[in-house]
Chains A and B, each alone.
Chain A
Amino acid sequence: MKRVYKITLLLGITMLVASCHNDKAPNYQYFPNMYESVGYETYSESKAFANGQEGQLPAKGSINRGFEPYEYENSTAGYELAKANLKSPLDSLDRNSGKGKELYEIYCISCHGASGNGKGKLVEREKFLGVPSYKDREITEGSIFHVETYGLNAMGSHANQLSVHERWLVADYVLKLRSQL
């Protein structure tokens, strides 16, 4: 009988120790002061500013380095102007580098599909509807760039994922797809 008690005790202790392991909290650390830095970490909470955040918005009107102004405004009129006048600055080396395809397959393929026919994975699964085939739209380099920058109705802006140069590469690839549809 005693043996039974001992075995249950042992099992109980093992279980107790095992259950101490908790995936929801970080582990112990030897010298936390080497790991947890004294300076503010990116996007951390901090009492230094009134809104309790370490990262602050840049001052109004500031622009980042290498910023190129984009002079067409986000409106139907701006769209028409960009369609008519805006021309791509890419040279033939850029156009053939294959980078456009790579970027298209990251950012546009979910909705527009690999061939640009408007049948991407999200459309096929009926999660996101109303994506046109490129063939059905009168589009130019300029209008594609404009739409990537500002979005259009249900399509959102991709300007913070793609740099100006990258947007031109993608626009070029879209035209290539359109000519093959």
Chain B
Amino acid sequence: MKKVGNHNSNSRKMFLSLAMMLAFSFSSFAQDAAPAAPTEAAPAAATTGGDPVKGKALFNSNCAACHKLDAKSTGPALRGVADKHEKEWLYKWIHNSSDMIKSGDPAAVKLFNENNKSVMTSFPQLSNEDIDNIIAYTSEPKAEPAAALPGAQAGADAAQGSGSNNNVILGVLALVLVVLVVMLFMVNNVLRKVAKANGIEVAPKAQRTPIWKAFVKNQFLVLVSCVFLLLASGYFVYGYLMQVGVDQDYQPIQPIHYSHKIHAGDNEINCKYCHSAARVSKTAGIPSLNVCMNCHKNISEVAETTATPEYSKAFYDAQIQKLYDAVGWDKTTQSYTGKTQPVKWVRIHNLPDFVYFNHSQHVTVGGIECQTCHGPVETYEIQKQFAPLTMGWCVDCHRKTDVKMEGNGYYKKIHEELSKKYGVEKLTEAQMGGLECGKCHY
């Protein structure tokens, strides 16, 4: 018997170069294209007379795909553009930027070249008023992070506070208990002393045979307790031996703290978005990093509200940075550097090599939910193994589960024959042959 290391030999390596080959992005960026970002100090002077609230809605639905307020995205950061250009120029630009570039407007051509000649969509449908609203939104001063913090901090403190409050109460209770016990002893002692001083004899205890001697003398009791002890230890030893080789609840520390709770739970991303091979193949697979970048090109940090007392925003942001380091994505220039590094995910579920298990058979053909076997994954902050993955577990389910026959032409004939043979309408997987050794063992 041997304790093995983490299933490190199986740790997944991501082939980022492959990922990059697949992750064509529509526009590519030059390293040297970083334009001077507008100063963060908000241009309070640029009062445009628009409605920033309406502007925000318009901005989010039309412009946010390419522009962020304070960071370069596909297009430059937009906070304070009103200071950079004339209003008329902005109307013209937003209505049809390519025309301006073609007509040779110097500012437009310069911008176009600085941004690696990516084309901005034209928005002829936006009225001048709409554009005023958007500009009003981009001219709003940046929300001071300090202003946002106290509230969040207070919330965190409150949460933290209630936790520590409980501990304090428990501690005080324990202390009171100890003091009570000590006091009892002391009172007892004092009473004895008082009694002695007053000359009262405390009646000496009658000499009894100690209880263990009485026990040893009673041979029947000894026998019974021996049998009991043997059975009990047998039970525990059996229990211990049976769990050898079973990795239920195994929860290794992953190189990137990736939370299924945030992705599959809070944001309801489908399991198969990432584990897309589960639909069509034997393995479910761990997503290659280009899949992560479909969202994380845009999501470079988590919201203030995502942080929990246990994991701070800074902690989560550092995890996303790890992802960027691995794919070689430079946040400031919004481009790939080409320097990649595989992420060594630690494999959790791992059947021995002599067992054949196929995801698509269970997920696509059998229509079984991931959660039946993997537990409530959408609530796991850290992924773990939910099922024991023993042979008994597989066989149990095959005995209990009815096979989905409806609408599957492949099963028509065998269903007719087998249901006649067993005289039942519904067939379990075991009756279909799911207990034959050769189905699961090579």
Contact = CB atoms under 8 A, between A and B. Distances in A.
Contacts of A36: 4, 9
A25 interface: yes
Interface string B346-368: 00000011100000000000000
Nearest to B68: A129
B39 interface: no
A130 B6 contact: no
Interface in B259-314: 266-270, 272-273, 276, 283, 288, 290-291, 293-295, 297-299, 303
Contact of A110 (B245, B269, B288): B269
A24 B253 contact: yes
A95 B62 CA distance: 31
A131 B63 CA distance: 9
A160 B288 contact: yes
Contacts of B25: 151, 156-157
B263 to A, nearest CB: 10
Given A35-B352, A132-B61, A154 B252 contact: no
Nearest to B125: A136
A126 B65 CA distance: 12
Contacts of A41: 9-10
B189 interface: no
Contact of A26 (B7, B17, B283, B295): B7
Interface in B38-82: 60-66, 73-74
Contacts of B267: 110, 121-122, 125, 127
Given A42-B10, A106-B273, A156-B294, A28 B2 contact: yes
A55 B15 contact: yes
Given A23-B251, A23-B384, A41-B9, A150 B24 contact: yes
B164 interface: no
Contacts of A35: 4, 245, 352-353
Given A23-B384, A30-B1, A45 B62 contact: no
A27 B270 contact: no
B9 A106 contact: no
Interface in B319-359: 342, 344, 352-354
A152 to B, nearest CB: 5
B119 A76 contact: yes
Contact of A156 (B3, B253, B290): B290
A156 B293 contact: yes
Given A121-B268, A151-B24, A160 B291 contact: yes
B249 A23 contact: yes
Given A76-B119, A127-B267, A55 B244 contact: no
A106 B270 contact: yes
Contacts of B74: 153-154
* Chain A contact patch, size range: 35 or more
B249 A110 contact: no
Interface residues of B, number: 67
B61 A130 contact: yes
Among A128, A155, A156, A159, the one with the most B-chain Cβ atoms within 10 Å of its Cβ is: A156
Contact of B11 (A25, A43, A57, A74): A43
Given A57-B18, A130-B62, A130-B65, A25 B6 contact: yes
Interface in A138-163: 150-162
Given A30-B244, A35-B245, A76-B119, A156 B297 contact: yes
A37 interface: yes
Contacts of A48: none
A157 B24 contact: yes
Given A107-B273, A127-B267, A26 B66 contact: no
A158 B270 CA distance: 14
Nearest to B263: A110
A44 interface: yes
Given A30-B1, A118-B61, A121-B269, 14 more contacts: A28-B1, A29-B2, A41-B9, A44-B13, A45-B8, A57-B17, A122-B267, A125-B267, A127-B267, A151-B24, A152-B26, A154-B298, A156-B294, A160-B290
5 contacts: A26-B4, A35-B353, A53-B15, A105-B270, A153-B66
